[in-house]
Amino acid sequence: MSSIYRLEIQYRGTRFSGWQIQNSGEVTIQGELEKALHQMAKGEVVKTVASGRTDAGVHAFAQVVRVEFPFEIDPEGLKKGINSLIDRDIKIIKAEKCPEDFHPIYSAHSKQYRYYFSINSDIPLFYRDRIVYFGDDLNIDLMKKACQQFIGEHDFMNFYTTGSNVKTTVRKISKCELIPFELHDLGDAQKSFSGYYLKIEGNGFLKQMVRMIMGALVQVGKNKVTSKQIDDSFKHKLTQPLAATAPAHGLHLNHVEY
C-alpha cells in the first residue's frame, strides 16, 4: 500500500534545466529526485509534485514536494536514502508523512521568494551563481518606495511570461521589500561583501513574475521607469514590458506556508 510523504528540498539550480522533467532529456531537479526514488522503491516508478516549477538556474531554500511512495518507509530513512543517492547540488532537509489530500500547490496559503543582487561588481567567486550585479548606479531609496506599489491585490498582466495557461493574472502580494545583507568571502574570512535581496511574498505567482518585478525595480533604480508607469501597468496591457526580465540565478524560492 502506498504512503504519502512531504519533502522539503534545497537545491542549487545552476546546473539544472529547472524543476520539471523535460521531454528533451535535459537534467532537471524533478528528474534527479525521481531517479533516486526509483532506486529506493526497488524499481517502481515514483511520481512527485512540487509547490512550483522553478526555471533553469533558479535556486530553492525550501521547495515542498509531495511523494507517493509504493510502500511505507520511515521518513528519516527516506530522507537519508535520497540524500545518499541524489545529485550533490540537491539536498532533502526534511521528510514527513502527510495526509493523502495534501497538495503542494493547492494546499499552500502563501509563497515567498528572495532575489539577491548587488551594486558591487566584485562578487566573491563562490557566490557568483547566486547574486546578480545590476550596476553601481542604482537608487536604492527609489527602489524601496517602488516595492510598496506591488503590495496588495493587482492584475499582474504585464509581469508574467505569456503562453503559460492561467485562469487569472490577479495576485495578492503581502510583502515586498528590499533588505540589505552581508556575507563573508569563503576564500577570505576577513573580507565581507554586501548587497540586497528583494523579499516578496504572495498568495501565488505567475511564470517569471518575480524576475519581471525585479527587472522593473532595477529600471526604477536607474530612473528609467516611474511610479506612474508601474501603476499604469496594473490597469492596461502594455505593448512592451516595462523592463527586461532579471536573470534567473538571483532568484531563490525561500518558503511555502501551509
Final residue of a structural domain among 63, 97, 131: 97
Same domain, 115 and 237: yes
d(CA 198, CA 227): 18
pLDDT category of residue 186 using cuts at 50, 70 and 90: confident
153-173: average pLDDT:
92
Q: Cα separation of 91 and 18, whole Å?
A: 15
pLDDT at res. 138: 97
Domain of 235? 110-257
Q: Residue 178: phi, psi to the nearest 5?
A: -100, 130
| The pLDDT of residue 192 | 84
Same domain (yes/no): 88, 212: no
Report the CATH number at residue 218: 3.30.70.660
Using a pLDDT cut of 90, give the percent of the chain over it: 90
CB 15 within 8 A of CB 88: no
Nearest to 131 by CA among 248, 2, 253: 248
Q: Distance between CA atoms of 220 and 9, rounded to whole angstroms? A: 34
Confidence of residue 188 (pLDDT cuts 50, 70, 90): confident
Are residue 93 and residue 115 in the same domain, yes or no? no
Pairing mode, if any, of strands 170-185 and 188-202? antiparallel
Do 207 and 149 sit in the same domain of this protein? yes
Q: Are residues 53 and 11 both part of a single domain?
A: yes
pLDDT tens-digit series, residues 30-51: 999 999 999 999 999 899 999 9
Claim to verify: residue 227 and residue 131 sit in the same structural domain: yes
Residue 104 lies in a domain: no
Q: Does pLDDT of 113 surpass 80?
A: yes
Whether 194 and 70 share a structural domain: no
- Among residues 55, 74, 87, 137, which one is catalytic? 55
> For 166-171, what is the mean pLDDT?
95
Q: Would you give the distance in Å from CA 43 to the centre of its chain?
A: 31
Nearest to 56 by CA among 2, 14, 89, 109: 14
Q: What is the CATH number of the domain that holds 10?
A: 3.30.70.580
Residue 184: inside a domain, yes or no? yes
Both 149 and 233 in a single domain? Answer: yes
Last residue of a domain, one of 75, 97, 119: 97
The pLDDT assigned to 184 comes to 82
Cβ atoms of 116 and 250 closer than 8 Å: yes
Global pTM reads 0.95
Of 17-31, 91-105, 188-202, 207-221, least confident by mean pLDDT is 188-202
Does 11 reside within a domain? Answer: yes
Total structural domains within the chain: 2
Retrieve residue 230's grid coordinates: 508601474
Mean pLDDT of the chain: 96
188 is a catalytic site residue: no
Q: Is residue 102 part of a domain?
A: no
Question: Is residue 103 one of the residues assigned to a domain?
Answer: no
Instruction: Tell which of 64, 97, 130 closes a domain.
Output: 97
Between the CA of residue 82 and those of 11, 37, 54, 202, what are the distances in Å? 13, 7, 20, 31
The DSSP symbol for 203 reads S
